[in-house]
Amino acid sequence: MVNMGEVITAMVTPFDKNYNLDLESCSRLIDFLIKNGSDGILLSGTTGESPTLSDEEKIELFGFAKKNFGDKTKIIAGTGSNDTKHSIELSKEAEKIGVDALLLVTPYYNKPTQMGLYKHFEAISSEVKIPIILYNVPSRTSRNIDSRTCIELSKIDNICGVKEASSDMKQIAEIIRDTDEDFLVYSGNDGDTLPILSLGGYGVISVASHIIGNEIRKMISCFKNGEISEASRLHRCFLDVFYGIFITTNPVPIKEALNLKGMRVGPTRPPLYQIEEGNLQRFKNILKKHRIIN
C-alpha cells in the first residue's frame, strides 16, 4: 500500500500583497500544518489556486517544500490539467524534484468521454513512476470519472488512489467495493469524510484541516477504533466549519480564516476576491464559535 496518510491538507498558496509567491509564509504554514494534524501536504490543488499559478511557480513551490519539509511530511504535487501533454511535462518535472506523489484532476472544460479520461490518465501514468492520486471534482470540471472508469484506472500499477469530491455515495461505494484494498479512496469534501469512512474509505484530502486538523484526525481515529458515537459527535460538531469554509468560492474563506488567525497567507489572486461583508460576518461567527479566532 502506498500510504500518504489519513489527513492530507490541500494547502493554500501564500501570496504577498502584490500577489507574488511568498515562500517565507509558505514555510510557516507547512510547519504549522505538520504540527496540527496533517500527514501530507498537497500543493497546487484547487485550494492552492492552481489555475493562476504558472508552471514556474508550481515547480518552485514543489522544490521548496520538498527541500525544506520532505523529511517531515509527504509532499504531493498537483500537476493535472485539461491538456494531456502539458500534464505529462509538469508531472515529469515534479517527479525529478522528488515529490512523493501526484494529484491529477479530471480534465476540465474540454469535456472528454470516459474513454478519453481513461486514456488521459493512462498516458500520464506511463510517463512517471511515482504514485498517482486521481481527483474527481465534477462541480468544477463538468466531467465525472464514473465508477467503472475509476475501477479500470485502479488496475494501473502507479495509480494508487482517488480524491472523490462527487458526493455520489453510490459511486464511491462501488469504487471501494470493486477495487483492491490497497487502492485508497479519500474524501474530497470535508463534510463527506465520515460517510465515506463508513463505506470503507481511507481518509480525507482536506481544506478544513488548515484550522481544525487535529480535530479531523481525532474523528478519523475514533471511527477506525470503533468509537462511532464519538466520531459522529465530532462530525456534527464541526459541520458548520466543514460547510462554512465554502460560504463562497474556495479558497477565499479558508485564506480569510488563516489571515484572521494571524497566519498570514495573503490574498487570493484575481478573479477571486474577498468575501462580501454579509458572508464575512457569518463566517467570523462560525470561527468564533469554535474558538478558531477570538
Residues acting as catalytic residues: 135, 163
Residue 39 contacts residue 74 (beta carbons within 8 Å) = yes
Residue showing cell 512517471:
128
Beta pairing class for 184-187 and 159-164 = parallel
- In angstroms, rounded to a whole number, what is the distance separating the alpha carbons of residues 268 and 161? 29
Give the count of alpha carbons within 13 A of 240, CB side only: 11
Residue 88 contacts residue 124 (beta carbons within 8 Å) = yes
Q: What is the DSSP string of 69-81?
A: HTTTSEEEEE---
- In angstroms, rounded to a whole number, what is the distance separating the alpha carbons of residues 270 and 145? 29
Phi and psi (nearest 5°) for 251?
-100, 25
- In angstroms, rounded to a whole number, what is the distance separating the alpha carbons of residues 149 and 175? 9
